[in-house]
A = this chain, B = another copy of it.
Amino acid sequence: MKSPTKTLQNDLLIRALKRQPTERTPVWAMRQAGRYLPEYRQVRAAAGSFMDMATNPELACEVTLQPLRRFDLDAVIIFSDILTIPDAMGQGLHFVAGEGPKFEKKIETVADIAALPIPDPMDSLRYVMDAISLTAKTLGGKVPLLGFAGSPWTLATYMIEGGSSKTYARSKAFLLNQPQAAHQLLDKLAQATVAYLAAQIESGADAVQVFDSWGGVLSPAMYREFSLPYLRQIVAGLQQAGYADTPVILFSKGVHSTLADMAETGAHALGVDWTTDLSEARRLTGDKVALQGNLDPCVLYADDEVIRQEVKRVLDSYGEGSGHVFNLGHGMHPDMAPDKLGVMVDAVHELSQK
């Protein structure tokens, strides 16, 4: 059970996620701590590998807070990676330049799945908790700190493919040909994620987001069988462990037909990418959840005035009432000009002022 809530100087995000009134729409950006910032690249160059940086609490804290020094953001998200859980399960995460994440081991059989441990977050994932504690302490409640994890399905794709994939051929064949084994793997990942997110909340995360980055590559039927139940399991697990008051955001990129199902998981909020208008998402989810999104990240390549127009379009699409957290529909890209994020953040605040 979480200790009494600390006082946040800016709690707009938390109120919006709980669909309580806010004086303006809160805003943050996925991958706001990242390569588009020169000060991030500097830390990254000095640190060695990506994982050297992610596993060092001081460096993780530093890059988490960097965007807050530049922009009037209403939240920060802990710098980490969605693949920390499979790594802690012993799969051997490493990053190959230009190729993205790779695992030394691949999941192929029921025996591979049975052998996977459920990591103790205070042991093999301790570095994440230390980074969160340090960041929460350094922040001092200035804005909320978000924790996060990958969804079971998304983690499973990397574990089955041994890394990234263009087609998810192996992962999908695994689900189709060995559904029972797949469910065992997904259940184990969901259990690990509940423990992981609970520990993040204990360490100081004010809200958590589950990134179902590859939810949208599944058909609605396969999504309902292999991703959705494990998102539900995570939300229910956190509620049962006493964290019902901490907002959970589910973000399944590319998912549209199943937004209504996602609204029934018990999550406080859904992330929506830019291919579904927020007005449509709101209609589909029946105002049961808050919505987060959904500017096309590529709008940040446009002129400042265009960015402002497109921000207005997103705000107008959500419309009246509480429950909107402004964000991009996906993460920042490494070649973006940092100032453009500032233009977006300021436009959100100015144009949403009540």
Contact = CB atoms under 8 A, between A and B. Distances in A.
Contacts of A167: 297-298, 333
How big is the A interface, by class? 35 or more
Among A172, A257, A277, A298, the one with the most B-chain Cβ atoms within 10 Å of its Cβ is A298
B313 A221 contact: yes
A57 B169 CA distance: 34
Nearest to A254: B275
A220 B281 CA distance: 12
Given A256-B256, A335-B169, A275 B176 contact: no
The 8 closest A-B pairs by CB, nearest first: A176-B302, A173-B301, A172-B298, A219-B274, A176-B306, A256-B256, A169-B301, A169-B298
Given A169-B298, A306-B176, A257 B280 contact: yes
A275 B310 contact: no
Nearest to A302: B176
Interface string A191-224: 0000000000000000000000000111111100
A177 interface: yes
Contacts of A255: 275
Contact of A257 (B216, B275, B296): B275
A167 B313 CA distance: 21
A276 interface: yes
Contacts of A298: 167-169, 172-173
Contacts of A256: 256-257, 275-276
Contacts of A276: 220, 256-257
Nearest to A221: B313
